[in-house]
Every structure is written in structure tokens, then in C-alpha cells.
């Protein structure tokens, strides 16, 4: 049986109990609930290895194995599995709010002149202890209230969310305004609108319903190439994080299709509507 390592809760030595009979492991565990404890962390294919994706503060996870200074986890939001540095993993949290601005800062006191403690990315999940309407007190400091929404309060338009990242530099496996890739942009936009979304573009080809070749595209549709995904803005334009311009930008649909083909990236392989 072929399994996708990205979605298989098996470190190579230890696996979740649910995989008994599926993989051969030295041990099986029930898993330990936890959460990302730093603003932004690389989720890697192996301990200290290549980055697959990034995860953000408060993202729920299940700990499967601890090995030296690394931890093998499965993420709650999309099932993605990989290795985090041990310092990036903390106890489970019950968030009340999430960062709904493209980015914000954690301050040591409720004062704009205070020197920030950390930058918090879009999607970070926080437990607010109190809120005076201007500042929200959280563990470790204060965050501007205007940058937060309650966990059940999402956006309605994935395209509008994606457009918040316009100009963000392209970064393979990136998931923040400091750097983001094509599938990271789609995932951020869909999750912010309360829609489940996997982390990589090949997985995202299963989203929604397939469009017939003759069917007109509309806002929010997804266009796929091998290894790439873009989101339709209107009948003429799309938005994507791309390695050609090395940023998030609008581009003409026809021009993008022609350019990718000319550069050897092949034809459109799928069009989906969520």
C-alpha cells in the first residue's frame, strides 16, 4: 500500500494507533495534544531537513514522537505531518481569537510606542484574557484589538483574503506575509473563510467540483498547473504567489497560461470551483 508521507502520522519509527496494520512501526501511540508555541515555524520533511510548510502560533497538533531536539507531529488544520524543533511545540491551547490582519505585533504593554516583542502572522490563534476595545491582553503581552477576530468570525471572500498578501515575496513552503507560496496563499484564503483546505497544490486539486473546459471562470475558482495553483479574481485576471515575479500579484489569465506553457510548465491540468 502506498501512503503519502505528508499525511501519514508515522515518523519512520513511531506511528499513531490508527495506523496499526497500515504501516510497520517500532511503536504505536495515542498521540499527545499540543499547539505551535512560536509565531512561525518550519514544518520539515525530516529533523532539521527541508521545509515542507510553515505553521503559525496556536495551530493545534498531535505529538507522535520526540527525538533529541525535534518533534514529529500531525497538524490539526490539514493533517500535514512533519518535524518541528522542540521549542516550537507547546501545550494545547483553547483559542478565542485569531489574527485576521495580514500581520500584527505582540507588545509588552498596551502602548503603541512600546518596543514590540514579536511579529505575529495572519492566522495565528490566541486566547484573549481581556479586551478593552483597543488592546487585547494575551499570554505574554498585548495585541491591537483591531487586528483580531473571534475564532468563529471569518471572512466571506477568499479572493479578498488573498489580495491582503499582494506584494508578499514568494517563499517555497511559506505561510506568512514574510514569504508565501502558491498553495500557502490558497490555504490561508480558504481557511480564513471557514473552508477546509490542504497544504499543497496537488492535494488542493481535490477541492470543490471540477469545471468543464467550456465553463466560464468566475471569482474564487482555482486553476491548476503541475505544481502550481492560482485563484481567479475576475473573468480576465487571477492572483497567485509565483516564482516568475517572486511575489504575490495579479496577472492576466490568458497571459499566465501562455507564459507557463512557454516556460515549460505545461498546460492547465484542472479547474475547480469551491
**Which CATH number do you get for residue 110?**
2.30.30.40
Say if residue 175 is in the same domain as residue 263.
Answer: yes
CA distance 28 to 171: 35
The average pLDDT across 175-185 equals 98
The average pLDDT across 188-206 equals 98
Say if residue 175 is in the same domain as residue 78.
Answer: no
Percent residues over pLDDT 70 in the chain: 100
3-state secondary structure the chain: CCCCHHHCCECCCEEEHHHECCECCCEEECCEEEEECCCEEEEECCCCCCEEEEEECCCEEEEEEEECCEEEEEECCCCCEEEEEHHHEEECCCCCEEECCCEEEEECCCCCCCCCCEEEECCCEECEEEECCCEEEECCEEEEHHHEEECCCCCCCHHHHHHCCCCCEECCCCEECCEECHHHHHHHHHHHCCCCCCCCHHHHCCCCEECCCCCCCCCCCEEEECCEEEEECCCCEEEEEECCCCEEEEEEHHHHHHHHHHCCCCCCCEEEEC
Say if residue 102 is in the same domain as residue 86.
Answer: no
How does residue 3 score in pLDDT terms, banded at 50, 70 and 90? confident
* pLDDT, mean over the chain: 97
- As given in the structure block, the three cell numbers for residue 164 are 491582503
Among 69, 91, 113, residue at a domain's last position: 91
pLDDT in tens, 82-131: 999 999 999 999 999 999 999 999 999 999 999 999 999 999 999 999 99
Say if residue 163 is in the same domain as residue 240.
Answer: yes
- As given in the structure block, the three cell numbers for residue 94 are 483553547
Cα atoms in the 13 Å half-sphere on the side-chain side of 218: 6
Among 60, 91, 122, residue at a domain's last position: 91
Percent residues over pLDDT 90 in the chain: 98
pLDDT in tens, 232-274: 999 999 999 999 999 999 999 999 999 999 999 999 999 999 8
**Which CATH number do you get for residue 208?**
3.90.1720.10
Number of domains in the chain: 3
pLDDT at 2 over 80: no
pLDDT at 1 over 70: no
Say if residue 104 is in the same domain as residue 40.
Answer: no
Say if residue 143 is in the same domain as residue 169.
Answer: no
Say if residue 262 is in the same domain as residue 214.
Answer: yes
34-62 burial, b if ≥16 CB within 10 A, otherwise e?
Answer: bbbbbbbbbbbeebeeebbbbbbbbbbbb
- As given in the structure block, the three cell numbers for residue 26 are 517500532
CA distance 184 to 173: 7
Say if residue 186 is in the same domain as residue 239.
Answer: yes
Closest CA to 174 of 121, 220, 223: 121
Q: Is the dihedral of CA 45, 51, 53, 57 positive or negative?
A: positive
Q: Which domain holds residue 208?
A: 158-273
Say if residue 258 is in the same domain as residue 166.
Answer: yes
Say if residue 139 is in the same domain as residue 211.
Answer: no
The residues near 127 (Cβ < 8 Å, ≥ 6 apart) are 93, 94, 95, 96, 97, 138, 139
Say if residue 163 is in the same domain as residue 260.
Answer: yes
Say if residue 199 is in the same domain as residue 258.
Answer: yes
Amino acid at each position: 500500500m502506498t501512503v503519502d508521507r505528508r499525511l501519514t502520522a508515522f515518523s519512520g519509527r513511531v506511528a499513531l494507533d490508527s495506523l496499526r496494520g497500515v504501516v510497520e512501526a517500532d511503536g504505536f501511540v495515542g498521540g499527545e495534544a499540543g499547539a505551535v508555541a512560536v509565531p512561525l515555524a518550519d514544518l520539515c520533511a525530516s529533523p532539521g531537513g527541508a521545509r515542507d510548510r510553515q505553521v503559525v502560533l496556536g495551530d493545534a497538533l498531535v505529538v507522535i514522537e520526540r527525538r533529541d531536539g525535534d518533534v514529529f507531529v500531525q497538524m490539526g488544520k490539514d493533517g500535514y505531518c512533519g518535524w518541528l524543533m522542540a521549542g516550537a511545540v507547546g501545550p494545547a491551547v483553547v483559542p478565542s481569537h485569531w489574527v485576521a490582519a495580514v500581520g500584527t505585533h505582540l507588545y509588552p504593554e498596551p502602548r503603541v510606542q512600546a518596543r514590540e516583542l514579536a511579529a505575529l502572522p495572519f492566522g495565528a490563534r490566541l486566547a484573549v484574557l481581556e479586551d478593552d476595545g483597543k488592546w487585547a491582553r494575551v499570554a505574554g503581552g498585548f495585541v491591537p484589538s483591531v487586528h483580531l477576530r473571534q475564532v468563529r468570525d471569518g471572512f466571506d471572500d477568499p479572493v479578498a483574503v488573498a489580495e491582503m498578501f499582494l506584494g508578499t515575496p514568494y517563499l517555497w513552503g511559506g505561510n506568512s506575509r514574510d514569504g508565501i507560496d502558491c498553495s500557502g496563499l490558497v490555504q490561508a484564503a480558504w481557511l480564513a473563510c471557514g473552508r477546509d483546505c490542504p497544504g499543497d497544490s496537488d492535494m488542493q486539486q481535490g477541492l470543490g467540483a471540477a469545471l468543464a473546459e467550456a465553463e466560464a471562470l468566475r471569482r474564487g475558482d482555482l486553476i491548476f498547473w503541475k505544481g502550481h495553483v492560482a485563484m481567479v479574481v475576475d473573468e480576465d485576471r487571477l492572483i497567485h504567489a509565483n516564482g516568475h515575479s517572486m511575489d504575490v500579484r495579479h496577472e492576466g489569465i490568458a497571459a499566465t497560461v501562455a507564459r507557463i506553457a512557454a516556460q515549460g510548465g505545461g498546460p492547465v491540468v484542472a479547474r475547480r470551483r469551491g
